[in-house]
């Protein structure tokens, strides 16, 4: 059961659609954008950890007074 060139024609149509919609294209410098995002996320996590540590220290100090 061969399909002739139906498969090839469908592949060509799909490639045209992908090119038209811009699907599959990656922006230049995406590695640097990823690195910047990772650094930003890491800084946010450091701030959260510092805040949690401060809160825990305050709770421990309050418990020690009782």
pLDDT (0 to 100) of residue 11:
93
Q: Is residue 60 part of a domain?
A: yes
**pTM (two decimals):** 0.50
Residue 63 is assigned to a structural domain of this protein: yes
* Residue 3 domain flag: no
Q: Are 33 and 27 in contact (CB under 8 A)?
A: yes
pLDDT of 1 > 60? The answer is no
Q: What is the pLDDT of residue 24?
A: 61
Does residue 6 sit within a domain? Answer: no
User: Do 48 and 55 contact (CB within 8 A), yes or no?
Assistant: no
Residue 31 is assigned to a structural domain of this protein? yes
Domains identified in the chain, total number: 1
42 domain-assigned: yes
In a domain, 33, yes or no: yes
Would 47 be classed as within a structural domain? yes
- Quote the domain boundaries for residue 43: 27-66
- pLDDT per residue as tens digits for the range 10-58: 999 999 999 888 766 666 667 788 899 999 999 999 999 999 999 999 9
């Amino acid at each position: 059961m061969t399909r002739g060139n139906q498969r090839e024609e469908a592949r060509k149509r799909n490639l045209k659609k992908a090119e038209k919609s811009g699907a599959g294209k990656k922006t230049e410098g995406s590695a640097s954008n990823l690195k910047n995002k990772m650094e930003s996320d890491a800084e946010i996590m450091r701030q959260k950890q510092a805040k949690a540590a401060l809160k825990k220290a305050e709770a421990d100090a309050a418990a020690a007074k009782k």
